């Protein structure tokens, strides 16, 4: 699986990351189909967002498909 990692302001690298395991209690396994870029993402890219650590795989506005849910998950369906 591939992921873009922001290593420092204005610097991305493309990584090979392991496929996720089956979800545990309270977790869901998802497939991301789309990701939006918002003002927070731009500020993090520019190095102007407080409380942001590098390196980090950014993104928090997602379009996803739920593939599996773990135990104790009741508000998300496959």
Q: Is residue 9 part of a domain?
A: yes
Q: Is residue 17 part of a domain?
A: yes
pTM attached to this predicted model: 0.77
Q: What is the pLDDT of residue 44?
A: 95
Q: Is residue 43 part of a domain?
A: yes
Q: Is residue 45 part of a domain?
A: yes
Q: Tell me 73's DSSP state.
A: -
For residue 50, give its domain range.
Answer: 2-69
* Span 33-77, pLDDT tens digits: 999 999 999 999 999 999 899 999 998 999 999 999 999 999 998
Domains contained in the chain, number: 1
Q: Is residue 76 part of a domain?
A: no
∠ CA 25-26-32 to the nearest 5 degrees?
115
Q: Is residue 65 part of a domain?
A: yes
Q: Is residue 75 part of a domain?
A: no
């Amino acid at each position: 699986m591939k992921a873009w990692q922001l290593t420092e302001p204005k610097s991305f690298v493309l990584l090979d990351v392991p496929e996720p395991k089956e979800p545990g209690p309270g977790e869901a396994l998802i497939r991301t189909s789309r990701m939006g870029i918002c003002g927070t993402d731009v500020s993090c890219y520019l190095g102007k967002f407080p409380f942001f650590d590098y390196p980090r795989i950014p993104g928090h506005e997602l379009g996803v498909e739920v593939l599996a849910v773990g135990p104790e998950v009741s508000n998300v369906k496959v």
